[in-house]
Structure 1
Amino acid sequence: MHTGSDLGQNLSLSALRKENEQLRDRNQLLESILNSVPAMLYCYDNNNKSITWCNAGLAETFGFTVTELTGMGMEFFQHIMHPDDFALAVVAQQSFIDNKSHFGGVARIRKKGEEEYRWLLGLEVPFTWDADGRVREIICAFLDLTHAIDTNAQISVALSEILRRQNENLLNKLTAREKDVLGLAVQGLNNKEIAHSLNLSRYTVETHRKNIRLKLKVRNTTELVAIARKIGYQ
């Protein structure tokens, strides 16, 4: 003979089973979406750059198994990134240590065992934080630009527009006097000549040029002139 208590327990057990089935179906759907999305997705620990999770797309693109990728640190990025672009991995790591809200850019990446590099666009954002509020894990999405061949005209316009806005942002960081100094430096004038032209002391010009390099994140005059021309100085 079943009591009311037995009936209630059976109903509760049935409800739990149904809820578990729904959760299982939902997890399977989400996993299917993450593995089918046309992007390479992964999370990594920002302290040691070790990968904590990735989708099948990342593993397939780079020629590693999901098991191999999980736990790999900087050696993974050394394997896949062009030597000239590898420094970006360190820059990204430091950016989030400095509490940057996102990090994005393009880099040359290749599959394990292949020689040819592809151009990938990546965007990273903080995902988890530790008890002290420091960024712990980062989630990243990579898109393969080498396969984006159906909208060549739009890609060209988009990249030009992005560069124009970036250059405007760089220019807006400079004061009016720094812009004057930069314009004359691009024309090939040295500090003494710039000081004479602007009626400034040579020390003041040197200070302006130091501040310009810091704001534009360049190390020397060659890099300064190169980025100034991209901004629009001739």
Structure 2
Amino acid sequence: MTTAKLCMAHNMNLVVIDKWLAEERWSLEEVGSTIPAVFHLDAPNLVPLYLNYFGRNSYDLSNAELQVIGEDFHKLYIHSNTLQNVFPRVKQFFERKDFSDIFCEMVKIWYPLEKEYKLCLLTTKLSRINDGLVSITQPIEEIEGLAVKTQRLLREERFVVSNYHRFNHLTDREKQIIGLLANGMNGPAIANQLFLSKHTVQQHRKNINRKLGIHSFVELLKYAQAFGVV
């Protein structure tokens, strides 16, 4: 995947993330846990206010320590060439206040555990929740497949959000049967394991299909995987 395509993919991810945060549908930690890369929320002065779990591990830094460091984060973690050549353009990007725009650039970030600067792709956009920026930063050496994986995770989260109430209307028995079906058991085997009649299992399956609005095993499997009943 080219850098341009990666930037566009990350931009789509950040648009979804910023929307979720602005609507208070998810907390920073919940959103951050879906991103297999360094995800950070930055203040208007470009100082990170929050790092997700991946970011805290990468920078060997807790969010409490991040607050103490403040503006010194730039001197400690950002290469001088990046500060001199890239950050002025990030500031110009921020000052334009264009929420539809994206900034994408190569930067050098200090990784203390490896004791080296790594060339990373920084993708950032204006955030609606703190008048700052939401950003994804990832070393080039690890970036293969990241955007696709992130999009897949976000799609799964969107599926759960969109279908939560529908799935929640199922009975515990119906959820149990979904799990057994997803694990490859057929109707007679389920009836035998749960001490039910075949007719009862068939009726449960009809109720499941009706409540979820599904018509195939593939659709049922998607629910089972998304809601963790497999």
The answer, yes or no, to whether TM exceeds 0.5 is no
TM-score, normalisation: structure 2: 0.44
TM-score, normalisation: structure 1: 0.43
Bigger relative contact order (CA 8 A; separation at least 6): 2
